[in-house]
């Protein structure tokens, strides 16, 4: 059985190296779309556990940086659900289109 791996803290990139984060957000749109396509499989949501092994991956960024872009994109279109986690945080859902 495959073990689920905790995703990297994509917000850490924002706080540790804001200039790099800005560079990632201003990447060529076709490169960003390529990363997003890698994250959205035909089976639906692709978790970090599988995303981190995706190949071929663009040379311009690491898998962790790519995950940051994916998380940022997913959060930008996420809708809150009317339920809470045990931590009293809202769940949210983002529809992915392939």
Average pLDDT over residues 35-45: 78
Say if residue 96's pLDDT is above 60: no
Chain-centroid distance of CA 79 in Å reads: 16
Q: 0.85 cut: is pTM over it? A: no
Burial 68-93, CB ≥16 within 10 A → b, else e: bbbbbbbeeeeeeeeeeeeeeeeeee
Give the residue extent of every domain in the chain. Answer: 10-93
Indicate the pairing of strand 90-93 with strand 79-84.
antiparallel
When comparing pLDDT for 68 and 77, which is higher?
68
When comparing pLDDT for 5 and 94, which is higher?
5
């Amino acid at each position: 059985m495959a073990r689920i791996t905790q995703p990297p803290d994509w917000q850490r990139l924002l706080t540790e190296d804001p200039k790099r984060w800005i560079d990632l957000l201003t990447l060529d749109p076709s490169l960003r779309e390529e990363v997003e396509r890698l994250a959205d499989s035909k089976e639906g949501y692709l978790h970090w556990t599988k995303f981190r092994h995706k190949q071929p991956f663009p040379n311009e960024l690491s898998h962790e940086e790519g995950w940051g872009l994916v998380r940022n994109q997913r959060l930008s279109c996420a809708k809150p659900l009317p339920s809470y986690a045990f931590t009293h945080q809202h769940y949210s859902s983002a529809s992915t289109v392939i």
